[in-house]
């Protein structure tokens, strides 16, 4: 599913970098810090697989706070399903 989702995003002309994080909040934070080291991003998409699952509330909270810590001007985009990820990103890409 991930490869199809990323390919679908690229097919819309959205340029970016694919990044997935561990479901462990500490590991996810470390992964985000590595991904952002020396990079700047305008928008980050957080998918429904994290934000819609009650068991991942702590993970979701950690991701949001780490992203803001790493890049205070970042825009956060949220999708509910891989099929609406392009629309979720476009909402903020059009504003930047």
pLDDT at residue 1 in the model: 44
Q: Dihedral sign, CA of 52, 56, 61, 62?
A: negative
Q: How many other β-carbons are positioned within 10 Å of the β-carbon of residue 19? A: 14
Higher pLDDT, 16 or 62: 62
pLDDT at residue 16 in the model: 77
Q: Tens digits of per-residue pLDDT, 49-85?
A: 999 999 999 999 999 999 999 999 999 999 888 788 8
pLDDT at residue 35 in the model: 92
Burial (0-12, 13-18, 19+ Cβ within 10 Å), 92: middle
Q: Tens digits of per-residue pLDDT, 35-46?
A: 999 999 989 999
Position 4 pLDDT exceeds 70: no
């Amino acid at each position: 599913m991930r490869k199809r989702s990323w390919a679908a995003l690229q097919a819309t002309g959205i340029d970016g970098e694919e990044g997935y994080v561990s479901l462990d909040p500490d590991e996810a934070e470390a992964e985000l810090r590595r991904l952002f080291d020396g990079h700047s991003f305008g928008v980050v998409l957080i998918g429904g697989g994290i934000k819609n699952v009650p068991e991942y509330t702590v993970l979701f909270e950690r991701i949001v706070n780490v992203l803001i810590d790493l890049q205070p001007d970042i825009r956060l985009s949220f999708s509910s399903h891989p099929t609406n990820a392009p629309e979720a990103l476009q909402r903020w890409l059009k504003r930047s």
